[in-house]
Structure 1
Amino acid sequence: MSYPQAYPEPAPAARSNRVYTNFAVYKGGAAMNFKVIKPSWEYRADGALAMKDAGVALLEFAPAQQGSGTAPGERRYDWENKTNIALSPAELGDLIDIIGGGGAGKNIYHDPNKGRAGEGTEGKSLSMNPGTRGVKEVYLNLMHKVRGQPDKKVSVSLSAGEMVVLRRLSEYVIPYLLGFDEIFQYDGGADAGPSDGLGADWARPISNDAAPVAMPTSAPF
């Protein structure tokens, strides 16, 4: 399948197998990006391939710039001042449950420095709550606290259509975040490797059925 090119095709030596994609939600007060970070892999002493870290879904939030206008085409967002949170597959399950009408809201808390120096000095809290006005919607509220700095708080509401898209994306990517696709793709050959590029000459052609890929390659929990 061919794709329209926004830029001239690079020379073979300069090409990359990275693919960038995201699902964006734009609202009057803030915008949100939904991205995917693939799992990482390593070879064990017996030569078997094992997952090192599961993949995550990255939610990025950016506040609207002051004075950027209220009409959709006039809005501008401060992505340089964005904040984010990385959701594990199980936490994505919580999001799917809320979107599907699974009762009361849920809250997810992350300490980016947990188990390291600085533990307890920073925290990210994502609350997910269904609408209360009889309208089918979900509110995502992210609070980012760093000791000695002003708190960052940003909120995005999801419409019925946005909820459907986010739920379908989440359900689709969870098996890939857990690496189950590699059970059927990896044959254990000398040059074989998983979809993050491990292995000598291994490569999988990109198709419409390929797992979604996005960068960055590390999770800012």
Structure 2
Amino acid sequence: MPLSSSLSIPLQSSRLPLPFLPSNPLRNGFSGLKTQIPNNKKRPSSFTCRHSDYFAPQRLASRSSEDSSSSPQPSGAQSSRVFVGHSIYKGKAALTVEPRAPEFTPLDSGAFKVSKEGFVLLQFAPAVGSRQYDWNRKQVFSLSVTEIGTLISLGVKDSCEFFHDPFKGRSEEGKVRKVLKIEPLPDGTGHFFNLSVQNRLLNVDESIYIPITKAEFAILNSAFNFILPYLIGWHAFANAIKPADSTRLNNTRSGPDFEWGR
């Protein structure tokens, strides 16, 4: 009598890893090779963006004030707060990049509206020794959503320049001047970040520069592309979508603005 046997093989579901933002590695960095300031050379193309300050100077004064501020959270947003950042350490300076969330305003209907877009905070700290940086002398620069888009679109040989006046339109206008220049390195191995700050209120005139390699620039661009929808608040909208609400709203829409619903 023939014997029959069956083999049962369990199926395992595969799950893709969720996007992950690294924690702030301010104390776990390393010192890279020192790079000399490149000679001024003619650049193939450049972008010049002049913006008044997008954010109140008190929000840029200290991280403690940023951490203590709070804003209403829309439906579907996480209640817990998480602080992340990415740091690049070189012989002359260190650069830390940190995202800042958008602000929401509650409406009478119970919904929420974005009142101020988020931004990315750049912090430059000069080196005072081997693997030592003076964060008390740090200079900060806030990249708006549009400026992030300019940075992401840079080619290997492209450059751009951003100008900020934190007191634009106020009595102290012109007393604080910040200029961030991003230029290609002469050998084509990356870009050169240079932040110049002139603060007549505090008698400060400082320039901090740091070379960014292709790999480091690619990491920054990847992080910027990931965080951009969150900076404009679209993640909150996506989290708030419910099938029942979506069906009800689509049935009530009419007019030329909703031609795709015909």
Instruction: With the length of structure 2 as denominator, give the TM-score of the two structures.
Output: 0.59
Asked if 1:111 is matched to 2:171, the reply is no
Is 1:21 matched with 2:84? Answer: yes
Indicate if the aligned counterparts of 2:105 and 2:114 stay in contact, CA closer than 8 A: yes
- Whether contact under 8 Å (2:124, 2:139) holds in the other structure is yes
Indicate conservation of the 8 Å contact 2:97/2:120, yes or no: yes
1:152 aligns with 2:206: yes
Distance 2:170 2:225 in 1: 32
Shift of 1:187: 5.0
Contact 2:127 2:134 (C-alpha < 8 Å) held by counterparts: yes
Indicate whether 1:88 and 2:144 are aligned: yes
| TM-score relative to the length of structure 1 | 0.69
**What amino acid does structure 2 have at the position aligned with 1:142?**
L
For residues 151 and 118 of structure 1, the distance between their equivalents in structure 2, rounded to whole angstroms, comes to 17
Equivalents in 2 of 1:150, 1:35: separation in Å? Answer: 24
Structure 1 Cα separation of the partners of residues 211 and 113 of structure 2: 38
Distance in 1 (alpha carbons) for counterparts of 2:153 and 2:239: 30
What CA distance in whole angstroms lies between the structure 2 residues aligned with 1:56 and 1:84?
Answer: 12
Equivalent position amino acid for 2:115 in 1: K
**Structure index of larger Rg:** 2
Question: Matched residues in 2 for 1:118 and 1:54: separation?
Answer: 25
Equivalent positions of 1:10-89 (< 5 A) are: 17-65=80-128, 68-69=129-130, 75-89=131-145
3-state SS of paired residue (1:117): coil
Number of equivalenced pairs:
164
Instruction: State how far apart, in whole Å, the 2-side matches of 1:51 and 1:18 are.
Output: 18
In 1: Cα distance, 2:111 partner to 2:98 partner = 29
| Aligned residues of 2:197 and 2:204 also touching (Cα < 8 A) | no
Aligned-pair identity in percent equals 31
More relative contact order, 1 or 2 (CA 8 Å, 6+ apart): 1
Deviation at 1:121? Answer: 0.8
For residue 144 of structure 1, report the CA deviation from its aligned partner.
0.7
Runs of 4+ more than 4 Å apart: none
